[in-house]
Structures are given as structure tokens and as C-alpha cells.
Amino acid sequence: MQLADKVVLVTGGGSGIGLGIAEAFAQEGCRVAITGRSESRLMHAAESVAADTPVLWKACDVSDRQSVRELFDWLTQELGSPDILVNSAGINVANRLFENIDPDDFDYVLAVNVTGSFNCIHAALPAMRQKGDGVIINIVSISGLHASILGGLPYSISKFGQSALGLFANLELAEQGIRVTNIYPGEANTPILDKRPAPPPEEKRAAMLQPEDIAACAVCVAKLPPRAVVPQLVIVPPYMVYG
């Protein structure tokens, strides 16, 4: 399935995996819009993408339902309703154990990582249902399959929630032509690593997945015909392979 002229919205598109995915879809000839909380980061990210069609951007806090509604209204006016939605917005915090977690931080991680994905899916569905077609890709984490100390308390819980959100969406929507894929990356070299209590050194980051690796998976899923649904896709660096 050719992707040229498909409308793609990528949340968390200002850096890391989201930016890598936005660039990959833009290079496929898609009309791409990115969103995130920082206007300056979004502007720089959009300008950095090498593609024939410029990437558009609009700031949005996906945890704020009104902000999401305004985002989708803007997108429809500028490009049309999304054919492909990529939920890549995600945060973590440095203090991520029961012994040091700030309850407000716990709430905010869940608000962005889980409720933010729900808000965007909920906003995208009316137009996708009307077309009887659509692709939704959730960038989850292997912390959404196996809780980990490294990922931390709020992040692991939020990623389990985002995983369940995507799996349930498929149960309801797949027969309506709307396919949902959860991608579960292992360690990836993105700015979220800087939030770790001990950020990894450059040599460790070089051995991790890179944003373009996950982006290639997203494009591959989006190119499949409507008869093919990929509910779950796990991608990890060699040192994280598990049986």
C-alpha cells in the first residue's frame, strides 16, 4: 500500500522516536504534522526533516482534552483528518521508586502516557470510522510487558495501561477497518534517557535502538493491506533479547 498523501499525526514529534517516525513518513510522501509541548522544539524538529513536503507542527499537551480537540480541529483544517495516528508522546521522571516518588509526578506520567494516548485515539476515531479505514500506532515500551526497576513505577504502570488501551481498541475496531499496533521498543537512544537517575554514557547509547529503527517498524506496519493487523510488535537491541 503506497503511503503518498496519507495524513499522519505524530505526538511527541519534537524529538527522539516521534521525530524519527515523522521523518520516515514524510520521506514516504505523507503529509505529516507533529505535536508536543514545546513550540521551539517542534519548530526546530519540523525544519530538520528532509522531505519534499514540509512537516507542519502545533503545540499541544495531550493530557489536556481541550488542547487535543483544538489540535484535531487545526489538523483537519490544514491537512485533513488523520489516516495514521502515532502516539509517541511519553515522559518519565528521575525519582521513580516507591521510596522517592512524588505522587504528583506519578499522576502526571499516567496523564501523559495513558490518558494522552486515549485522548488522541478518541479524537481520531470519528473520522476513521466514517472512512472505514485507519492506522493507529502506539509507541509503548517493553516496560509495558515486563515491569522493571529501570523503567520505574509510574512509567511501567503507564505503559501497561497504554498497552491495554491499544489491545482493547483492536478488539473493538479491527473489523471496522481501523488497525491498531502496539510497538514495544527496548532501550532506545532518546532524550528520555536523560531522566534516568544515572543517564547512560554515549558508548551505551550507541548500542541501543535508534529512533530510525522504530520508525522503520512503524512505516512497515502502515504499508500493510487492510486485511493484515499487527496487534503487537517487539523490537529490542541484541543485549535485551529474551525467550
So which residues are the catalytic ones?
155
Integer Cα distance of 130 and 149 in angstroms: 43
All cell numbers assigned to 62 = 495531550
CB-CB contact of 14 with 34 (8 Å): yes
Question: Would you give the distance in Å from CA 197 to the centre of its chain?
Answer: 23
Half-sphere exposure of 197 (CA within 13 A, CB side): 9
End-to-end CA separation in angstroms for the chain: 33
CB under 8 Å to 83, separation ≥6 — which residues? 6, 7, 8, 131, 133, 134, 135
